């Protein structure tokens, strides 16, 4: 699982500060999460093949998470994209995008599918045989969701030495990977644990975009491997965080601790803080394994 934080600042893009966008590589998928202004430049800097992005997830329709989408779709058009594109975004995104495309005289050359979100409850919005994506309802000034990306259980790993030593026929291998015992022609039962190893635990990533401190999300993301949680402010601006429906670094740490996350990544920094390390320092008072997102930074999680 690889995460690239293409942009990690709040409000407006600046000379050296991009607004929110992330790329998540998981089980062969390349998901774009949020698309602030300038995202396509960041994608080019990270040498991303645009056609590999088939799903875009937008947390909410504030400009710093959404205004890069029209430009990106336009570039896909200019590139002669043929691959389908699925956009999972709050209701209103489709109307906004189609109007922009219409007034700019764009003729769609690739299949563009909108999946508009309006539920107040957590729901599965994408699923295949390898993973699922679930919404995380947030509490922000407008309708907003985070997204929980979770791998499904993998197959067990075949113990090649054991199956060869016992002379187990190849036709049993898939059943063994599925966790079944093998019953030989003689009637003898070979327990699965002798023939296979447990799979690696499923990876998971929760993206918690702009939100007031909202402990209601904890049951949804319980046990998450990697949690991104916004930390626009520090505790010194707690009142401002509440007024603007954002979180502090300490509150992000509280969510990470309550959710028993393994790793916390902070982001969506307010420009009033000149040094990002203050966010990490505050969160670490409660949650040690706290990392800082930076524009263009890659994280690899095994
Ligand atoms: Zn924002
Ligand atoms: Zn916002």
* 174-215 pLDDT tens trace: 999 999 999 988 889 999 999 999 998 999 999 999 999 999
CA 25 to chain centre: 9
d(CA 26, CA 133): 11
Strand order in the sheet with 131-137: 124-127, 131-137, 145-151, 204-208, 226-230, 263-267, 290-292
Share of the chain above pLDDT 90, in %: 92
* 133 has a pLDDT exceeding 90: yes
Mean pLDDT value across residues 240-268:
98
Tell me, what's the pLDDT at 223?
A: 97
- Taking the centre of ligand 2 as the mean of its atom positions, its distance from the CA of residue 56, in whole angstroms, is 17
* 276 has a pLDDT exceeding 90: yes
Residue linked to tokens 């002798």: 194
Q: Which residues on neighbouring strands pair with residue 85, listed in sequence order?
A: 112
Tell me, what's the pLDDT at 8?
A: 96
- Taking the centre of ligand 1 as the mean of its atom positions, its distance from the CA of residue 276, in whole angstroms, is 17
Tell me, what's the pLDDT at 302?
A: 84
* 71 has a pLDDT exceeding 90: yes
- Taking the centre of ligand 2 as the mean of its atom positions, its distance from the CA of residue 299, in whole angstroms, is 24
Mean pLDDT value across residues 248-277:
97
Tell me, what's the pLDDT at 186?
A: 87
Could you tell me the pLDDT band of residue 46, with boundaries at 50, 70 and 90?
Answer: very high
Read off the pTM: 0.93
d(CA 148, CA 103): 35
Tell me, what's the pLDDT at 11?
A: 87
Residue 64 catalytic?
yes
* 112 has a pLDDT exceeding 90: yes
Tell me, what's the pLDDT at 41?
A: 95
CB-CB contact of 48 with 41 (8 Å):
no
3-state SS, one letter per residue, for the chain? CEEEEEECECCCCECCECECEEEEEECCEEEEECCCCCHHHHHHHCCCCHHHEEEEECCCCCHHHHCCHHHHHHHHHHCCCCCCEEEEEECCHHHHHHHHHHHCCCCCCCCEEEEEECCCCCCEEEECCCEEEEEEECCCCCCCEEEEEEECCCCCEECHHHHHHCCCCHHHHHHHHCCCCEECCCCCEECHHHHEECCCCCCEEEEECCCCCCHHHHHHHCCCCEEEEECCECHHHHHHHHHHCCCEHHHHHHHHHHCCCCEEEEECECCCCCCCHHHHHHHHCCCCCEEECCCCEEEECC
Tell me, what's the pLDDT at 106?
A: 86
* 250 has a pLDDT exceeding 90: yes
144 vs 188, more confident: 144
Tell me, what's the pLDDT at 185?
A: 84
- Identify which ligand lies nearest to the alpha carbon of 60: 2
- Taking the centre of ligand 1 as the mean of its atom positions, its distance from the CA of residue 167, in whole angstroms, is 59
Residue linked to tokens 């309708």: 143
* 272 has a pLDDT exceeding 90: yes
Tell me, what's the pLDDT at 107?
A: 83
* 260 has a pLDDT exceeding 90: yes
């Amino acid at each position: 699982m690889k995460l690239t934080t293409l942009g990690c600042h709040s409000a407006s893009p600046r000379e050296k500060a991009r607004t929110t966008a992330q790329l998540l590589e998981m089980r062969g998928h390349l998901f774009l999460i949020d698309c602030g202004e300038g995202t396509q430049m960041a994608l080019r800097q990270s040498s991303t093949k645009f056609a590999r992005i088939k799903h875009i997830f937008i947390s909410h329709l504030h400009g710093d998470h959404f205004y890069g989408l029209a430009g990106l779709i336009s570039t896909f058009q200019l590139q002669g994209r043929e691959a389908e594109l699925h956009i999972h975004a709050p209701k209103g995104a489709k109307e906004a995008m189609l109007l922009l495309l219409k007034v700019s005289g764009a003729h769609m050359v690739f299949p563009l599918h909108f999946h508009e979100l309006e539920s107040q409850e957590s729901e599965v919005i994408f699923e295949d045989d390898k993973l699922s994506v679930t919404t995380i309802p947030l509490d922000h000034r407008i309708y907003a969701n985070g997204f929980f990306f979770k791998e499904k259980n993998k197959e067990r790993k075949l113990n090649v030495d054991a199956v060869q030593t016992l002379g187990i026929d190849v036709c049993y291998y898939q059943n063994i990977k599925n966790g079944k015992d093998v019953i030989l022609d003689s009637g003898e039962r070979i327990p699965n644990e002798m023939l296979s190893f447990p799979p690696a635990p499923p990876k998971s990533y929760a993206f918690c975009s702009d939100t007031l401190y909202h402990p209601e999300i904890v049951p949804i993301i319980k046990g998450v491997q990697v949690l991104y949680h916004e930390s626009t402010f520090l505790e010194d601006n707690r009142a401002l965080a509440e007024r603007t429906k954002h979180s502090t670094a300490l509150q992000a740490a509280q969510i990470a601790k309550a959710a028993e996350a393994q790793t916390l990544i902070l982001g969506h920094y307010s420009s009033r803080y000149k040094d990002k390390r203050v966010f990490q320092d505050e969160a670490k008072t409660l949650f040690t394994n706290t990392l800082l997102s930076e524009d263009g930074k890659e994280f690899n999680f095994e």
